[in-house]
Structure 1
């Protein structure tokens, strides 16, 4: 991604941080010639409509808020397969970094940070937007002293307060009791999170800890947050009360919104004798130069130091994923952040002292000698920092080589050749990346790191082998659901249909794309082809030719009269039998039918001169009827006294007549 031009406008320069949902880069807006931060959604998540909607919701929620203490959103769009969001670039560190390095803040410094955060959050609450993920990772401390609230990834309208399916998407340490127990959130849920954050700034630790997230969630829902002064005796009573009010388990008992809490904070500040707020309420991290010291009344000087520091605490994205900051990921020279006060004896060359504008009121009462002493210490610390920078720090770092798309063996060789070590190697299934190929690495290529730093790799294990579900006997609709739920793909256009003993649209077989039977397991995402019944072949024997033709054609088949035959048992024009021409039979195939012509014709034999009884028996045996003028008793008498012999017959012998025709005989008596 480094060096890529996104949407023809944003030139990606370097990596800031990577989360489970997106990666943030420093980029240059070529159109407006300014530096921006661009948040790019991971392409495998961009295909998921649920994640894409959440990402777009973050951009829209943040874009609605215009306030100096909220990170501005400039643009949002799509570039090929991924979605992105363009934001204001804030060089500096996070509040989490500050707490990680200095454990806790003074009450004055905590008030300054909370004042700025509440001011920005108040603007969101006025628009009916609930942040839902307030924590130190989402509070940015800029080089120039500004404080910005970021990451509205879980933000929602206050009216849409149900967190269905996402109850614990926020960081568990800051979740309100109602989110844990009911899955609902409103502006007072944000107030609870800020109360926990204020407790952490004052004490250096979170009020609840546990081995499992569920234990922490249980304590949020069932315990009262202790007073910060129980952990840090220097916390004043006024701030104890503010923490207690904002962390009431019952939302109705908390401040109604950020504006109400901001008023309470400023009243507490006044009671504590704080100095007037700065002219620009968005800035609490002020800086000054040596010339400022020389030109300013010593009684009005603030303590000034500078710190060479790189971010050392892992920022956490709204989806809970933690990705460490590393040297080179973001600007490392930060001017006068709000650090806890330290004595001269505690100062070390690599960790210079710092103050905030909240301490300027107190510094006005200090003497010029004290200011000069602190400046000398700062210079010594800076000199030590420079030595560390080029000796052991980022000045001596190597650049991580690109390992993605290499085989595991080649990637490990490249890493060790660059002076690093190979860290954890994990495998993940992938449909796109060949087995044994590196899919991802941590830290990313191009990062500057100390020699021997371990580089972790994610190697593709290829597609996952999944169990093929039983499909025969299911309807097509049920089979399609079973295929997709099992992790395979199905295209209706590939379905084959053939006539069978099953009703139409019942699966009679499943194959791969070549037509071969399916094995018991198949690679994830592989296509499955179904063979479905086209219905039962119509039985047309005994139907008239016209009706048989209609039934066959309605089934999608073609009729062919293959023969017309005489039949003594089947009436003329009726189908004697049908037969198929293919196996299996599919729509469009031909069905042969045989149609009866009725009984076959009879050629009359010559019975003239035969006894009348014998002649009658012969003709009737051929399916003919016989008429005669001889008394029946004479005909049926086997030993008549007077014998009658046929003298003539009509029709005459040799004539062809239809079966069942009548033949008339004339007989003459004889002795």
Structure 2
């Protein structure tokens, strides 16, 4: 369980009833929280739709559909839905709280499950899914993340967010829904889902539990989708030899590319799973652990005796699934019949051999041979064209551009072909190259001047991805206001009208003006700067008549750029008023001498007997002329009456 003390939902009372305690998980559509139902005094899980999706009618309808779909299912293997509603701008769904882990957590820890573990999980999943199918509901997003393993041993299916009524052809719309690793071929190629599409996903999960990995892998989602549409799922025993043949057959049946070759619904596959489990238990050694099962009463012998040793076999259901190996006696009879027919067929084989050889050459090496379209993804157009032409395929004169938000694929490079890679084509068939047009271009909203929170919401709503913001001090822009916005490779988004979907946007946010530390003591100024993430060093000292000694005269930023958190400012410090030199005032009239000394900031005194005689002349000073004194120092003026 994850928590986030900064999450505004933590501690919130939803609809006056549900007290949110902590965050459990976050997905692409909603966040799930642990909450307390104050009315019934029980713990519940409350699923809250992301705020930026709440105004989207499509997402809101899908959210409500999940509540309706799950609420129709009262089954011990389906997560119960208690309530659904809207509190102000918050759409929520209240569900049963199951403390524990998901099947994905279990697979990440153990990778490969035992046959018994896989049986138990599959039985629970298929039981819950059978109830959904019986009620006309297709889940459409089955995956290990949606299989919950409670601490008390219960196993339940959750997240019916993509569920719809099960018709013969339930369309998904233009976009593929569900997780790509578990999508059925018909969903990939035609966007059509029914109960058999759920069965395909179950088969992929069974393969993953037994083999320890998914059957199809790829660096890009379209590569995995291509494999689902064109390749056959292998047997889990090829990765894990301990897997019984019967389970291999069950996986192959569930993951057949043709939906008509799969179980028609979860009930059909559940019956086969239980039948297969009974067969494996019957075939296991007497000392092996067996699943609990009901055995039928032995049939009486033809002789009427009731003491004849008989083999008790588990009851079998009528099924259309995989057929297990015949008994030894049946195989021996079949071999005898084949031996008798062998002589008859030998001549026919010789006769047909020549024809087969010629036909094989024509279709395998001759003019009629098919070629497999190679995977040219990631190549430039010229290289891809040359590769296809070497196989005698014709490359269409015009490429077809497709949008792709993945910036790791260079614009203009090949991202696929039509037909897809792996398709078997006759020579001289035309193949169209699919080239990357880059992300879809979307309008850029006005971001400068908004608060950071407003700008981030505007970015997500517009279809872009908000990155961590950068900050700087500004005397012109208020704090918490966006100064600028940049995209990938530093593009200035204030100069463009459109930008690529899902591409990163970085905001530059103002921290307000740098604090004014002029007149503060040096230590106090350092403390003030540290409070906003800056530091300071002492710079030049200078005399200043207005700033006391030891106080800051000014703060200078490094270089000519803006000040950002972590910068070090240079602080000029005052040495107080500048000193003065006692001037030469000999022979000056008294008043002129006094004015000269006081003009330098000195305190002048003289013999008061000369007070009436303004015409007296200066004969010297104490200290004498040329002496350097601090401003405000006292100087004695010596006077003499002349004539």
Which protein, 1 or 2, shows the higher relative CO under an 8 Å CA cutoff with sep ≥ 6? 1
TM-score, scaled relative to structure 1: 0.43
Structure index of larger Rg: 1
